[in-house]
Structure 1
Amino acid sequence: MVATLVFSVIASFAIYQIISKYRGLQRNIALAKSSGLPVVVAPWYTFSILWLSTFKLWLPLLERFLPQSWRGMWFDLLNPEWSYMTGHGPFEKMGMDVFMVASPTRNVVFVADAEAVTQITTRRNDFPKPLEMYTSLDIYGKNLVSTEGSDWRTHRKLVAPSFGDKNNQLVFNETLHHAKSMLGLWAGSDGNGNETIADPSVAAMNFALYVISGAGFDVRVVWPHEEGKKVEDKKSEDSIFVGSEAPPGYTMSYRAALSQLLHNIMWTQVMPLKWLARSPVKMHREVSDAAHEWGKYMDEIYEMKKTQVEFGETQANMDIFDSLIRGSGITKKEGSNFTKSDLLGNAFVLMLAGHETTANTLHFSMVFLAMNWGSQKRLQDDIDNIFAGKPIDEWKYEEHFQKLFGSMPAAVMNETLRLLQPIINIPKSTPPGRPQPLNIGGKQYMVPGDAHVFLSAAIHRNPKYWPTPSDDSSKDDLDQFRPERWLADSKPDNDFVDINYDDEGLRGPAGEDTSSDLFKPVKGSYIPFSDGFRSCIGRRFAQVEILAVLAAIFSQYSVELAVDDFACDEEVEKMPKGGKERRDLYKMATDRAQDLIQTKMASIITLQLRGVSIPIRLMKRGEERFAFDV
C-alpha cells in the first residue's frame, strides 16, 4: 500500500515535470519565432549548472547511441564550448550572425554580429548583465561585477580613478621585476635556459598573481625559488614583503592563501563558503580556509592604508587599494557613501579578473610563438628596435609602452586574445517582460524578455571583419595564429569609431583595445575585454602587463616547444641543424600542441587547457635548436 502510494507520487511528479517542460518549450519556441531571428530548438538549457557540470559524461553517450537522423543543429550546440571549438561555422549554417536557441527553461541569443554587439553593449539598461550568474562573487562584499543600474554606476565611479597612468607605471615596473624572477625560475641559475618547463601555465599564473598583488595592494610577493636570496628591489620602504611564512595569527601565508583561493575559485561558484567549510572533500575545506585567511590579510592591509590616509601620508606607489580608499572618502569626518565591504569586494574581483586572463594570454602567446618561428623572429626584431639594447632596469613605461602597443608585441597579444578569448560567451540578458529591438542590416528584430544574450567569441573568426590572405590558403586563416594580420595596411570600410558615452567617467581610463598604428577592427567585432559601458575597466592594466612581460622574455630568449617525449637531448644534438630530422621531430611537437589546444580547452571561469600541458624551453637567443627559417 505504502509502496504503491510512493510510486504514484513519484510518477505524478515525473508526469508533471514532463508536461511543465513541454509547455515551457512550446512557449519559448513561440517567443523565439516571434523575434524574427533564426531559431534552433534544444531539449534542454545547455548553460544550466547541471549540464555544465555533467555534459562531458553525457556527450560521448549521445554521440554513440543517438541515431544520426535524430540529430540536428541543436546537437552541434550541446557542448557549451562550441563557439571556441567550431568558430563561426554554426552561424554560417544558420545563415545569420545572430540566432536564438529555444529550450524548455530559457531562450538564448548568440551574437557574432558587430552591429548587434555595439547596440547591446551601449544600451546597458536594455541588456543588463544576468546578475544571478555573479552573486557568488560577493565573497567580501558587493562590487563592480555583481551590481547593475545605479549601484553599478556607484561602484564604477569608485573604481575608475584607480586605473590611471600612475598605476600603469606601477604595473610596468612590477611586471619587469616579476618577469626577471620568472625567467630566473625557467632559465636556471646560470640563465642559459635549455631546461624543459613541464607546465608553463603554473608559473604564468603565479606571475600574474604576484604582479596584481603588487600593483593592487603594494604587496611584493617573493618567489619560492628566491626566498633567502638577496634580490635587488626598488619598492618603497612602506611596501609589504611576503614569502612562505605565515605571520602570527594566521594559519596560511599570504602567498599560499591567495594562490589557493584564486587557483581554485571555481569551488566558490558551485557552493557557498559555509558549505565548503563543512564539506568532506579536503580541497573544499582548503578553499574555504584560504578565503577566510586572505580576508584577514585584506582587513589588515585595509586598516594600515586607511591609517596612512587619515594621517595624510602620501603614497609613492599608486596601488589600486590605496586609490580606492582615498577616492571613497571613507576616512573623512563627514562620512562616505561607501562601506569597508565595498572596498574589499571590489579589491577582490579586480584581483580575480586580473590574474587568470593575463596568465592565459602570456602562456598561449609563448606556445603560439613557439609554433610560428617567423612571427617570433619578427617580434624579437621589433623589441630590439624599441629598446636598442637597453637593460631591463632602464626600461620606462612613459618611454616604451606606446612603442610596444603599436608594434609586433601588441599584434601578438591581440592575436592571442582573438583566438583564445578568456570568456567565450560574454553574458547579457533582457529584462523580464521587456522585449528589446535589435536593428541588424537595416531590419528590426525583437529579442524576447527574460532571455540570455551571449556575445560569442565566434565573432573573432567571422570572415566579414578580418583581413585574410588573398590566396587559396585563406579559407582556414582565421583559425590560425597570424599576428601579422594586425600589421595589415588595409583598413575595413567601417573603420573603428569609439562610441560617445553619456558619462565618460563610467568607462574610466581603460583605453582602446588596439593601437591606431595597427589594424582597427570594426567596432563591436573585437571583444576580448567586452565592449561599451561594461567593458573591462582593467584592460590597460592587462595590456601593460602582457606587453612588458613579452618584451622581457623575448629580448633575451627564444621559446621552443619541448620535444622530450619524442627524443632526448643527445639524439637532438646528433641531428643536423635545420635538417629534415629536426624538422620532422619538431613537427611532432607542433602537431601535439595544436591538437591539445583544439581538443583539451575548457572554461571554468576562463578558457584554458584542462588536465594537460604543453611543455616548452627557453633558449638563449642565437642558441635555438629548432629556429627554422620561414
Structure 2
Amino acid sequence: MAFITLSLLSIILLAAIVRCFLALRRNIELAQKIGLPYIIVPWYTVSVPWFILAPVVNPILNHCLPTFMTRSWLKFMDPFWTWRLLYSPFHERENDTIVSVSPGALTFNTCSPEIISQLGAQRKDFGKPVEVYTILETFGPNLVTTDGPHWKHQRRIIQPSFNEASNVLAWDETIFQTTALIRKWDDEMKRSQNAYLNFHDDLRTLALHVVVRGSFGLRMFWPGVEKGKFGEGGVKDEGQHRMSLGQATLAVVNDLKWLFVLPSWALKWAPSKYLNKIWLGYGTTKWERTWKSTSENGKRHIDKDNSKDMEQTYLVFSPVPLPPGSELTDISDSLISTTQKPSLHNSLGPSLTQQEIMSNVFNSLTAGHETTGATLFYCLVNLAMHPSWQVLIQQELDTLFGDRDPRTWTHAEDMRKLQHSKLDAAVLETLRLFPPNNLIPKQSSFDHTSFLRYKGKEVQVPSNTRILILIASVHRNPHYWPPPHTAASSAEPVFESEIREDTNDFRPERWFVSRKSAERYGGRIVPSHDNGIDVKSEEGGNERGFFVPCKGAFVPWSIGERQCIGRNFAHIELMVAIAVILKEWSVELVLGHTSGIEDGDEENKGGRWEEARDRAEKCLRFGMRHYITMQLGKGLIPLRIVRRGSKGLLD
C-alpha cells in the first residue's frame, strides 16, 4: 500500500514537473517571437500572495541553493527588484523593456516612456489588474480598487472634491500645522541640545493632520494643546472610543496585511496585543464610529463623552468654520451628500453606497498621510545631506517672502512664486528618487492580442499579459534625464557616454536646463519665475528654463486618467511645509547620536559629518521596505533643526 501511494505521488510530481517544463518552453517560444530581451524565472511573481511570501522565501532560496543555480534569476524574484537594481538590468540588455518568462505567464517589465505613455492612453487595451489591490479593499470598493464603469462612476462623484478651493485649504492648513510642529520641535530641542527629532513619525502625523482637515473639515492639534487654546470648539477626539481617529488610521495602515490575511474576529480575540490593536483601529475607523451624523452645516461631530479613555488620546479636534460664500466642502461632506441605500453593485445609481464612501475616505487618509509624509521626510533628509542646496532654497525664500510671517502667505498671491522654483525642483527631485510606489501594474485585454509601438516597430502583447511600469527604473533612465550642472553655470554639461551614475543622485539642479539640453532628452522647458536668482539665462540665444520631462518619463502620481486624484493637494502641501520650515530654520544631521561623539566636539567635525551623511545615504538606499507604499523600514536617520543665523554643524 505504501509503495502504491509513493508511486502515485511520484507520478503526480513528475507530471507536474513535465507540465511546468512544457508550459515554460511554450512561453519561451512566445517571448522569442515578441523579439524583446527576456529573463526566465521559475514561477509567476506578480500576485498578492507572492508579495507577502517573497521576503521569507527568497532568503531561503538564496541560502539553500548554490550561486551558479540562482545567479541569473533569483534577483528578479523580488516583486520590487526595480528598487534594488534600478536601471542596471536594462542597461545590461541595452533595452528599456524586458520580458519575464515563467511557466505561468509572461510579464513585460518596462522603463520606456514611449511604452508608458501608450499604456496610459490606451485604457481599453491595457486596464488595471484590480486583483492586485485587493488588500486596499478592506472597507469596500473604492477608486483605487475598481476599474471600468465602476471606476468612472466613483471618479465622477469624487473628482469635484479636489478643486481650487481644496488647494486653498491645503495651503492654509499646511501653514497652520507646520507652524505648530515647529513649536513642538523647538520645545524638544530646548529640553536637550544634543537630542534628535523624530522627523519620520512627526512628518507623517503632519500629513495626517492636513488630510483629516481635507477629509472631514476638522482640525487636529499637536500634543499639549488644551481645549480652547486655539479658539472655540476644541475637543479631544475620543468620546467613547478607545482610539483616536489618527491613532486608528495609523494602526490599520501600518499593518493592513493582517486584515487581508485574517478575519476581523480573529484579530479581536487573538492572544496578541499587536493583533488586538489592529482590530481596534479597524473598528474605530468603521463608518458607524468615525462620524455620527451631520449638523446643519453638513459637518460631522464627535462624541464628547467624558470617558476616562479621553485622557489617553494625543489629538484634539476642532470644527473649522468656512468663510461666507465659500464653495469649499471636505471629501466626506461631498460623498455623504451622495449617500444612497446599498444596491446591487452592477446597478450604478447617481450616488455612492455607504460602504464605498467609507472605503474612499479611508483611502484618502491612507494615501494622503503615507505618501506625503514620507516624501516630506525624504526631501528634508536629502536637504540635510546637501546643505548647499538647502542654503539656495533659503535664499530663494528670502527673496520671495522677505520678512513676512508664513501665516500671512496666501495661495492666491504666493503659490505661483513657488512653482518652478528651486524649492519645487527639490520636491520633484525627491519624487524622482523616492516615488510613493515603485511599480504600476497594467493588464492587456483578456480577449485579444494588443500592440504597442516601440522604437519604430509594432510589439505584440499576448492577451491577459501583465505589464509592469517600473517607476524607480524609468526615473533613472539616463536617456531621458539631463545630467546635472551648477545652476549658475553657463556651460552646457558634457559627457562622453550614456553610462551615467548621476541619475541615482539627489541633484535638483538637473531641473534647470537649456532648451537644447531639454529637447536632447525628449523634454521641454517652461519659464521659471525670475526671483532674483539665476534660474534663467541666455546661452548664445539658447534660453534656459525649468525642465519638463517627456510624457511617461516622470510618473510618481501614476499615468493617464488613473493619476492620483489628490496630486495637486499633495504637491502644495509638500512645497508649503518645506517652505515654512526652511524660512527660519535649517535641518541638520545629528552627528553624535550613532557615533557616541557629542556634536559639541569641534575636532574632526567635518569628517564626522561625512560619516553621518554616508550612514544616512545607506539607510535610504538599503533600508527601504515596500508595503502599500515605499517606506523606511530599517535604520535611523537622526535630524534636528537649528535656527538660521545660529552656529550650525558646518559653520
Query: Could you say which TM-score interval applies, normalised by the shorter chain?
Result: 0.7 to 0.9
Amino acid at match of 1:489: S
2:239 equivalent in structure 1: 247
From 522, 534, 537, the counterpart of 2:550: 522
Superposition deviation, residue 37 in structure 1? 2.0
2:599 equivalent in structure 1: 572
From 418, 440, 448, the counterpart of 1:404: 418
Give 5+ residue unaligned stretches, structure 1. Answer: 499-515
Superposition deviation, residue 442 in structure 1? 0.8
Counterpart CA distance in 2 for 1:413 and 1:301 is 38
Contact conserved, 2:287 with 2:358, CA < 8 A, in 1?
Answer: no
Cα 1:185–1:101, aligned 2, differ >3 Å: closer, same or farther?
A: same
What SS does the aligned partner of 2:611 have?
helix
Counterpart CA distance in 1 for 2:433 and 2:546 is 17
Cα 1:136–1:59, aligned 2, differ >3 Å: closer, same or farther?
A: closer
What SS does the aligned partner of 1:47 have?
coil
Superposition deviation, residue 19 in structure 1? 3.4
Instruction: Note if 1:436 corresponds to 2:457.
Output: no
1:218 equivalent in structure 2: 217
Instruction: Note if 1:371 corresponds to 2:385.
Output: yes
| TM-score, structure 1 as length reference | 0.86
Greater shift, 382-391 or 538-547, is seen at 382-391
What SS does the aligned partner of 2:107 have?
strand
Counterpart CA distance in 2 for 1:191 and 1:523 is 48
Counterpart CA distance in 2 for 1:68 and 1:41 is 16
Counterpart CA distance in 1 for 2:144 and 2:647 is 44
Contact conserved, 1:187 with 1:195, CA < 8 A, in 2?
Answer: no
Amino acid at match of 2:456: G
What SS does the aligned partner of 1:454 have?
strand
Matches within 5 A, 1:142-541: 142-188=141-187, 194-197=193-196, 199-223=198-222, 225-228=223-226, 231-232=229-230, 243=236, 246-248=238-240, 250-296=241-287, 300-301=291-292, 303-304=294-295, 317-326=328-337, 328=338, 336-457=350-471, 458-469=473-484, 470=493, 475-490=500-515, 491-493=518-520, 494-495=522-523, 518-541=546-569
Contact conserved, 1:497 with 1:523, CA < 8 A, in 2?
Answer: no
2:311 equivalent in structure 1: none
Counterpart CA distance in 1 for 2:636 and 2:478 is 30
Provide Cα deviations, 1:131-175, integer angstroms capped at 9, x if missing partner: 111233223332111111111111111111111011111111111
1:94 equivalent in structure 2: 93
Counterpart CA distance in 1 for 2:635 and 2:525 is 41
Contact conserved, 2:177 with 2:209, CA < 8 A, in 1?
Answer: yes
Provide Cα deviations, 1:510-568, integer angstroms capped at 9, x if missing partner: xxxxxx96210011100000111111111001101101100111111111111123556
Counterpart CA distance in 1 for 2:18 and 2:94 is 33
Counterpart CA distance in 2 for 1:274 and 1:484 is 53
Counterpart CA distance in 2 for 1:340 and 1:71 is 50
Counterpart CA distance in 1 for 2:440 and 2:495 is 33
Superposition deviation, residue 290 in structure 1? 1.2
What SS does the aligned partner of 1:461 have?
coil
| TM-score, structure 2 as length reference | 0.83
2:35 equivalent in structure 1: 36
Provide Cα deviations, 1:20-53, integer angstroms capped at 9, x if missing partner: 4333323332333332222111112233445433
2:539 equivalent in structure 1: none
Contact conserved, 2:400 with 2:417, CA < 8 A, in 1?
Answer: yes
Counterpart CA distance in 1 for 2:366 and 2:7 is 49
Superposition deviation, residue 431 in structure 1? 2.7
Provide Cα deviations, 1:287-320, integer angstroms capped at 9, x if missing partner: 12211211146652564489669xxx97775312
Counterpart CA distance in 2 for 1:383 and 1:136 is 42
Percentage identity across paired residues of the two chains = 29
Provide Cα deviations, 1:165-221, integer angstroms capped at 9, x if missing partner: 111111111111211222222222687995533542111111111110111111222
Amino acid at match of 1:372: H
Amino acid at match of 2:465: A
Give 5+ residue unaligned stretches, structure 2. Answer: 301-323, 342-348, 485-492, 527-543
Counterpart CA distance in 2 for 1:8 and 1:198 is 64
Contact conserved, 1:384 with 1:555, CA < 8 A, in 2?
Answer: yes
What SS does the aligned partner of 2:640 have?
strand
Contact conserved, 1:100 with 1:107, CA < 8 A, in 2?
Answer: yes
Amino acid at match of 1:475: R
Choose between structure 1 and 2 for higher RCO, CA contacts under 8 A separated by at least 6 residues.
Answer: 1
Provide Cα deviations, 1:548-603, integer angstroms capped at 9, x if missing partner: 1001111111111111235567x533416xxxx11101011111111111111120
Superposition deviation, residue 397 in structure 1? 1.3
What SS does the aligned partner of 2:175 have?
helix
1:584 equivalent in structure 2: 607
Counterpart CA distance in 2 for 1:394 and 1:370 is 27
1:549 equivalent in structure 2: 577
Greater shift, 364-373 or 191-200, is seen at 191-200
Counterpart CA distance in 1 for 2:9 and 2:47 is 23
Contact conserved, 1:432 with 1:450, CA < 8 A, in 2?
Answer: yes
Instruction: Note if 1:622 corresponds to 2:637.
Output: no
Counterpart CA distance in 2 for 1:378 and 1:489 is 20
Provide Cα deviations, 1:48-70, integer angstroms capped at 9, x if missing partner: 44543343444445445544443
What SS does the aligned partner of 2:39 have?
strand
Counterpart CA distance in 2 for 1:14 and 1:289 is 45
Counterpart CA distance in 1 for 2:210 and 2:192 is 23
Counterpart CA distance in 1 for 2:596 and 2:173 is 37
Instruction: Note if 1:130 corresponds to 2:129.
Output: yes
Instruction: Note if 1:604 corresponds to 2:603.
Output: no
Counterpart CA distance in 1 for 2:135 and 2:80 is 22
Cα 1:62–1:130, aligned 2, differ >3 Å: closer, same or farther?
A: same
Counterpart CA distance in 1 for 2:426 and 2:284 is 38
Cα 1:323–1:307, aligned 2, differ >3 Å: closer, same or farther?
A: closer
Contact conserved, 1:429 with 1:452, CA < 8 A, in 2?
Answer: yes
Contact conserved, 2:207 with 2:369, CA < 8 A, in 1?
Answer: yes
Cα 1:370–1:131, aligned 2, differ >3 Å: closer, same or farther?
A: same
Cα 1:114–1:226, aligned 2, differ >3 Å: closer, same or farther?
A: same
Count of paired positions: 590
Amino acid at match of 1:115: E
